Structure 1
Amino acid sequence: MQYHLDGYRYGDPTISPAAPGREGGQGPLPEEVDVLVVGTGPAGTVLAAQLAEFPEITTRVVERRQGPLPVGQADGVSCRTVEMFDAFGLASTLVDEAYWVNETTFWSPSAEDRHGIARTGTVQDVADGLSEYPHVIVNQARMQEMLLEKAARSASRLEVDYGYKALGVEVPEDPEALVTVTLEETDQDGRGTGTTRTVRARYVVGCDGARSAIRTSIGRSLHGDAQNHAWGVMDILPVTDFPDVRKKAVIQSATGSLLQIPREGGHLVRYYVDLGDIPEGDRSIRERTTYEDILAAAQKALHPYTLDARDVAWWSVYEVGQRVTDGFDDVPAGLAGDRDPRVFIAGDACHTHSAKAGQGMNVSMQDTYNLGWKLAAVLQGRSPRSLLATYSEERQAIAQDLIDFDKRWSRMMGSKVADPDRPEAGGVAATDVEAHFVAGGRFTAGLSTVYRPSLLTGGTEHQDLAPGFEVGMRFHSAPVVRVSDARPVQLGHVHEADGRWRLYAFADAAGASEGSALGGLLAFLDDSAQSPVRRFTPAGAPDDAVFDVRVVLQQPHGEVDLNALPPFLFPAKGRFGLRDYEKAFSAERTNGRLLGNVPGLDATADVYDLRGVDRTRGALVVVRPDQYIAQVMPLDAHEQLAAFFAAFMVEQA
């Protein structure tokens, strides 16, 4: 973290100085805004935290409740989501509070007594090398609280306007006219009072759940199927003799399936309990099922172990179903390319699925992490409005992948285990669920997303330069040593949720010397009229305001002369023109040196070996503001680099 840029500042450095005009807070909800976010679920709070980084953009967030969510239904936090939280500066708090899912155990009917269960397998929950962060469990309400606190501490001082629900949105034909949203004030129970008002916005994002009024207003609808299968879910404080009570456990007994997920805090446990098939069209399962029914089903599934609930934090009943809309914005398919989107939907507003794959909250957050930087780029005049069409193009395909995965996993979880004495009854083998779980490990870690070649994502013609940095996938961090102060860091952790592009330049064998490929790249970025840095950085802004260029050198940090590095790597910052000394890193191994509590820094191989970077030729890895790799190219591919950014950026000179 860098601060004291404009002079010594006492106090908590995570609280930014208020932007001009925001010293007293954001003020009452205005009649016109740049972006109106509807809803403070996972998608809405990520978007709020991201857009709060741009105080020149007027962002407001409305929520039908009268205050923050007290208890969240979602709790599984994938490795990818923790990586995203790191970009917001929140990962350390998250993992400190969380339950870490280290192992998952599998239980099936006992061979001695099929009325009881026995452990059939144990697997490491996240395979080695997938991420420097673990899979964790944290209540949705707490995660949203962290994000909203981040927004409130920003220069924007962004806070939620509670007590408003959206009734609908009107999109005018004139592309220059503002979108109008009708809001209704709500009471303490979130019900409308009849008092309405309108807010006009350049862009509207509906994060208002599965019954989204924004989605309905733009003519989108959820399509898909229900599986006519019901599950109960409960968070309880248990007393039990089940030996794996503090491990994630997949239990398939003769009486039904059970998914156990320990919660943060050391005592709370969540149970997803199979309540069986329901008749097609029957929607009364919620009304006729009690908490006692769910607990009794869980007790039967755990036999011969006992389960007593001393306290119930929350419980519910839901039907398994997977649905997705055919687009995530207001542009009909027939007008794609002819009209720029102005209204977007995210999260449950455009895709719903079962909870057992643990992806709903995670994918919802990634929706708006994809959208937020694009809105900022357009509103700041750095990219044309056509950039916004890439949101639906990219995220709808990812949502469909999730739906397909969830269907397979839900069927597997709801299947009965085959009885060897009654093969005619069918069912799955006891090992099938474990094998399916292991096969889907990359997906459940949130690391299977691949953005296809497009305006923002290049091809793989130069992938051989760095096979471990796969184009279209998230930037896979690795340990390095910062040259200026010898501090071991995760390279990916320099990536902040600030809308900037990252250019990671891995030095060729000649290093940064004059005549090297790396030296040539830095000279091009600094001096050429075709340099993206020179063409697309606003006048008067620091050199790294839009493009954050970092270099990784092959020699040990102690052998690097800072003064011999190109001046471009030390951009002047702030009113004093201070130099930034954190742009250069060494790829040396850390070999177990004292690293504090930073995860994943005890490296026995360097980043070149870990990610397969070509030591002779080096490589340039271009990373989008949402941490996904857009390009891998040679260090001397100057024209290709310039053409890539020219396709979706606006000249600033």
Structure 2
Amino acid sequence: MQFHHHGYVSQDPRVLPASGTGVDRPTDLPDEVDVLIVGSGPAGMLLAAQMSQFPEVTTRIIEKREGRLELGQADGIQPRSVETFQAFGFAERIIAEAYNIGWMNFWGPDPENPRNIRRTSRTADYAYDICEFPHLIVNQARVLDYFAEAAAHGPARIVPDYGVEFAGLVVHEDGDFPVEVNLKDAEGERTVRAKFVVGCDGARSGVRDAIGRKHVGGVSAHAWGVMDVLVNTDFPDWRTKCAINAEAGNILHIPREGGYLSRMYIDLGEVPEDDQHRVRQTPIETIIAKANEILHPYTLDVREVAWHSVYEVGHRVTDGFDDVIDGSGRTPRVFLTGDACHTHSAKAGQGMNVSMQDGFNLGWKLGAVLTGRSPESLLATYGAERRPVAQQLIDFDREWSSLMARKPEEISDPNDLATYYLATAEFPSGFMTQYTESMITGSDAHQTLAAGFPLGKRFTSAEVVRVADGNVVHLGHHARADGRWRVYAFGDRDGTALSAWALSAAEVFARFTPSDADVDAVFDVKAVHQQPFEELEVTTMPELFRPRTGPLGLADWEKAYAAGPSKWTQTDIFEARELSRDGVVVVVRPDQYVAAILPLEGVDELAAFLEGAFLPAS
């Protein structure tokens, strides 16, 4: 973490100085706002945390609840989400309080006594095979708390306006604030005008209805009971994630944070066509009894039920993620995120995770457009990028739900669920998303120069050695969700081409950086050298890699890295990520996805790519 560059700091460095709209932020909701976020769920709170990094933009978030969420339904945190938490500055703290899924065990009928269950396999979880971040379980309410803290501690000082309910909107064709939004609160009804509105208001989204978007899909004829419980039990895997298949039904069992609490998804079977959702009224006593029947010969003595519900599996994707329905190509003014535009079962642990990535994708784009960095056409890429991801999620969840609901006689291989779980791990972990070519994702013409950084996929971090002090750090962990683009310049063998690139590229970056801003305010450029760090000196490097920033004009000592290996790591990032020894430039978007791969001599190509994504700086 870097601080003191604006002067000595003695308080918590995570609390950034207020600026812009964060200075003397009005308590009452203004009549006009740049961005109005409706709903404080995972997508909404991440979006608020991201927008807090743009204090030039007036952002407000409304929530019909009277205060913070106390009991969240979502709890699975995939590695990509933990990676995102790292960018917002709270990964280490939430890991400390969460449950880490290290293993997943599978249970099936005992051949000698099919009424009983037995463990059929013990499988290590996929997280650490894919990245450096774990697979966690933690209450959704705590995730929202951390994002709320990040939003409140950002320069814009964003906090939710609780007790305010969305009541409808109208999008006008012109005006500086073309979206007219009707709201209700304890004092009555009022109208707010906004440049942009983001519906993060759940599966029954009022924003979705207001813009005429429709959920496409249906509900399967299968019901599950879910409960968070504190129990005494003789089931030996109570503190291990389990998929349990029995003659009496199926259970997905997930230990939760704190060492005692666990969540169970209990198979309630097929639902008759004329049920009219009566299954949703199933008493908790019936759900507990069913769980005991499935777990036989083991028993659960439930001491407390923290929360429970019954749901029928649904798979729906909204027919569009913004309000541009007529194909006119106009600028979208209203966006949908999270459950407002995709719903599915809870068992794949994707709802909160995919919703947060919706917010991450949209937030920096709104900030870039509203601060004049990028053209409004950037906003059309939100729906173009996120809707295919939602459809992939629905397809995956339909397959996983079907596998989980099978009867024993339908299973030919008792290990096939474990095999599927591991074989498809990259998708649920959040790392299969790959955006296609667009104004912010370039051509793959130079992909061979950086095979380990697939274009359009999230930047996969690796260990490097910081030149200034010899410390081993993860290159990607330095990036923060501050709206800046990252540019990683991997040097050639002797560094000659890298130095030449730095001189030419600095002029390109200057075209899109305001003259009164720090030189790295838009592009955070890092150099990674092939030579050992002991052979390098920061003070001899081009100014692009040691910029002077802040009101004191202090040199930044953390832009230059060496590939390793060193005493503290055996990782050579050039080998680990299959990087050309002739050097390569990897451009990464603010949401951590690889946007462009270019040779060191391709400065003109770099300029051409940035001209498509940015406006010239004023």
Same-fold call, TM cutoff 0.5: yes
Confirm whether residue 137 of structure 1 aligns to residue 123 of structure 2. Answer: no
CA–CA separation in structure 2 for the residues paired with 1:259 and 1:586: 45
In the alignment, is the contact (CA less than 8 A) between 2:63 and 2:160 conserved in 1? yes
Residues 547-566 of structure 1: CA deviation (Å, up to 9, x unaligned) = 11101011111110222211
Name which of 331, 349, 352 aligns with 1:358: 349
Confirm whether residue 317 of structure 1 aligns to residue 310 of structure 2. Answer: yes
CA–CA separation in structure 1 for the residues paired with 2:383 and 2:349: 22
Confirm whether residue 446 of structure 1 aligns to residue 430 of structure 2. Answer: yes
CA–CA separation in structure 1 for the residues paired with 2:176 and 2:162: 29
In the alignment, is the contact (CA less than 8 A) between 2:464 and 2:571 conserved in 1? no
Instruction: Quote the residue 1:103 is aligned against.
Output: 103
CA–CA separation in structure 2 for the residues paired with 1:501 and 1:16: 20
The alpha-carbon deviation at position 176 of structure 1 amounts to 4.3
Q: Which runs of 5+ in 1 are unaligned?
A: 187-192, 419-425, 594-602
CA–CA separation in structure 2 for the residues paired with 1:84 and 1:587: 24
Residues 570-611 of structure 1: CA deviation (Å, up to 9, x unaligned) = 1111111111110000111255x4xxxxxxxxx432111111
Confirm whether residue 576 of structure 1 aligns to residue 552 of structure 2. Answer: yes
CA–CA separation in structure 2 for the residues paired with 1:131 and 1:590: 21
Name which of 539, 551, 559 aligns with 2:535: 559
The alpha-carbon distance between structure 1 residues 406 and 20, as it changes in their structure 2 partners (threshold 3 A), is closer
Counterpart amino acid of residue 294 in structure 1: I
The alpha-carbon deviation at position 107 of structure 1 amounts to 0.4
Name which of 364, 369, 384 aligns with 1:393: 384
Instruction: Quote the residue 2:458 is aligned against.
Output: 474
In the alignment, is the contact (CA less than 8 A) between 1:415 and 1:428 conserved in 2? no
In the alignment, is the contact (CA less than 8 A) between 1:230 and 1:285 conserved in 2? no
The alpha-carbon distance between structure 1 residues 427 and 21, as it changes in their structure 2 partners (threshold 3 A), is closer
Confirm whether residue 214 of structure 1 aligns to residue 207 of structure 2. Answer: yes
The alpha-carbon deviation at position 169 of structure 1 amounts to 1.1
Moved more, 168-177 or 577-586: 168-177
The alpha-carbon distance between structure 1 residues 278 and 4, as it changes in their structure 2 partners (threshold 3 A), is same
Instruction: Quote the residue 2:167 is aligned against.
Output: 167
Name which of 359, 373, 380 aligns with 2:364: 373
Instruction: Quote the residue 1:510 is aligned against.
Output: 494
Instruction: Quote the residue 2:244 is aligned against.
Output: 251
Instruction: Quote the residue 1:40 is aligned against.
Output: 40
Moved over 6 A (4+): none
Name which of 362, 380, 393 aligns with 1:402: 393
In the alignment, is the contact (CA less than 8 A) between 2:200 and 2:338 conserved in 1? yes
CA–CA separation in structure 2 for the residues paired with 1:288 and 1:159: 36
Counterpart amino acid of residue 498 in structure 2: L
Secondary structure (helix, strand or coil) at the match of 1:250 reads strand
> Aligned-pair RMSD on alpha carbons?
1.4
CA–CA separation in structure 1 for the residues paired with 2:510 and 2:20: 28
The alpha-carbon deviation at position 459 of structure 1 amounts to 2.6
Secondary structure (helix, strand or coil) at the match of 2:576 reads helix
**Structural mapping, 1:617-632, within 5 Å:** 617-632=582-597
CA–CA separation in structure 1 for the residues paired with 2:603 and 2:273: 60
Counterpart amino acid of residue 377 in structure 1: A
CA–CA separation in structure 2 for the residues paired with 1:509 and 1:21: 47
In the alignment, is the contact (CA less than 8 A) between 1:479 and 1:490 conserved in 2? yes
**Structural mapping, 1:608-647, within 5 Å:** 608-615=574-581, 617-647=582-612
The alpha-carbon deviation at position 333 of structure 1 amounts to 4.7
Moved more, 170-179 or 373-382: 170-179
The alpha-carbon distance between structure 1 residues 567 and 366, as it changes in their structure 2 partners (threshold 3 A), is same
Instruction: Quote the residue 2:562 is aligned against.
Output: 586
Confirm whether residue 230 of structure 1 aligns to residue 223 of structure 2. Answer: yes
Instruction: Quote the residue 1:411 is aligned against.
Output: 402
CA–CA separation in structure 2 for the residues paired with 1:23 and 1:53: 13
The alpha-carbon distance between structure 1 residues 457 and 177, as it changes in their structure 2 partners (threshold 3 A), is same
The alpha-carbon deviation at position 24 of structure 1 amounts to 4.7
Instruction: Quote the residue 1:117 is aligned against.
Output: 117
* Count of residues in Structure 1 that have an aligned counterpart in Structure 2: 618
The alpha-carbon distance between structure 1 residues 103 and 404, as it changes in their structure 2 partners (threshold 3 A), is same
CA–CA separation in structure 1 for the residues paired with 2:340 and 2:127: 32
The alpha-carbon distance between structure 1 residues 520 and 185, as it changes in their structure 2 partners (threshold 3 A), is same
CA–CA separation in structure 1 for the residues paired with 2:597 and 2:503: 19
The alpha-carbon deviation at position 19 of structure 1 amounts to 1.9
Counterpart amino acid of residue 207 in structure 1: C
CA–CA separation in structure 2 for the residues paired with 1:644 and 1:505: 16
In the alignment, is the contact (CA less than 8 A) between 1:416 and 1:428 conserved in 2? no
CA–CA separation in structure 1 for the residues paired with 2:112 and 2:26: 66
In the alignment, is the contact (CA less than 8 A) between 1:26 and 1:159 conserved in 2? no
Counterpart amino acid of residue 608 in structure 2: A
In the alignment, is the contact (CA less than 8 A) between 2:39 and 2:62 conserved in 1? yes
The alpha-carbon deviation at position 465 of structure 1 amounts to 1.0
TM-score by length of 2: 0.98
Instruction: Quote the residue 1:455 is aligned against.
Output: 439
Task: Quote the sequence identity (%).
Answer: 51
In the alignment, is the contact (CA less than 8 A) between 1:26 and 1:158 conserved in 2? no
Instruction: Quote the residue 1:349 is aligned against.
Output: 340
The alpha-carbon deviation at position 6 of structure 1 amounts to 2.2
CA–CA separation in structure 2 for the residues paired with 1:157 and 1:428: 57
Secondary structure (helix, strand or coil) at the match of 1:116 reads strand
The alpha-carbon deviation at position 288 of structure 1 amounts to 3.2
CA–CA separation in structure 2 for the residues paired with 1:173 and 1:430: 59
CA–CA separation in structure 1 for the residues paired with 2:566 and 2:79: 23
The alpha-carbon deviation at position 427 of structure 1 amounts to 4.4
Instruction: Quote the residue 1:523 is aligned against.
Output: 503
CA–CA separation in structure 2 for the residues paired with 1:6 and 1:118: 61
CA–CA separation in structure 2 for the residues paired with 1:413 and 1:590: 46
Secondary structure (helix, strand or coil) at the match of 2:367 reads helix
In the alignment, is the contact (CA less than 8 A) between 1:554 and 1:586 conserved in 2? yes
The alpha-carbon deviation at position 508 of structure 1 amounts to 0.9
